[in-house]
Amino acid sequence: MEEQAKSLKQRGVLFDVDGTLLDSSYFHAIAWWQGFRQQGLTVPMASIHRHIGMGGDRLLDRLLPPDSDEDTRKEIEQAHGAIFSTFWPVIRPFDAATDLVRTCAESGFAVALASSAHPRDLHVLRGILEADAWIDCVTSSADAAESKPSPDILQVALERLGLRSEDVVYVGDSVWDVQAAARLDIGTIGLTCGGISEAELLAAGALEVYADPRALLRDLESSPIGKLAGPPSA
């Protein structure tokens, strides 16, 4: 698979990974919580979870005390990465996640994993998903100057696929996914399997919300992805 080559396909589906295709959001929350505790900081797990989907730098901006120094940030980030890696063996795809990616590709869509995960984590998560045969490009935190809710990751995916905003749909599980896509006028399908409610995803601007990849796959033809499969935009 050549991640830098432009796809010849005229439409695409961009997928977030953590909490969207893989059941990993709560493991991230635990890893951040333990990272904070190692620095003597108590941050409620619920507060951490509500910021999962942001880049780690943005999450720390929101949750650290204002007077925190750079060394503390680095220690927490390193702890999060080390602790999250201990969960790799137990992370699993959501039901039908791989089938959803495969079906989109076999229906003629270019497929991108538009993730802001650390490259090391993303390499492992891709192996768990087992969908590389149907993926046209992948982004990680190394590909963007700013993390979600900045749209940088999505912009990189569009450029690699050679597609425009109006020719793709993004599938994500957090309000940060929806906000990032909205900045590029990309329509987003929300999934609640990452732990964020339908009401919150709709309020953020999601076009439609489904419970999980299985539910989206079942209604794929009537979803925004299916509606995108018409004549190419002028």
* pLDDT for residue 2: 40
| Residue 148 per-residue DSSP state | T
SS3 72: helix
* pLDDT for residue 90: 98
Cβ(139)–Cβ(14) below 8 Å? no
Cβ(141)–Cβ(148) below 8 Å? no
Tell how far CA 179 is from the center of its chain. Answer: 12
* pLDDT for residue 229: 84
**Token digits for 171?**
């599938």
Q: Helix 70-85 crosses helix 25-38 at what angle (to 10 degrees)?
A: 140
Q: What's this model's pTM, rounded to 2 decimal places?
A: 0.93
CATH class, 12-23+91-228 region: alpha beta
* pLDDT for residue 231: 55
Q: How many helices (H) and strands (E) does the chain have?
A: 11, 6
Average confidence (pLDDT) per 10 residues, the chain, 234 residues? 60 98 98 98 97 93 95 97 98 98 97 93 97 96 89 96 97 97 98 98 98 98 92 51
- For residue 81, give every residue at least 6 positions away whose Cβ sits within 8 Å of its Cβ, in sequence order, or none: 31, 118, 120, 121
CATH number, domain 25-89: 1.10.150
Question: What residue spans define the domains of the chain?
Answer: 12-23+91-228, 25-89
Residue 200: count other Cβ atoms within 10 Å of its Cβ.
16
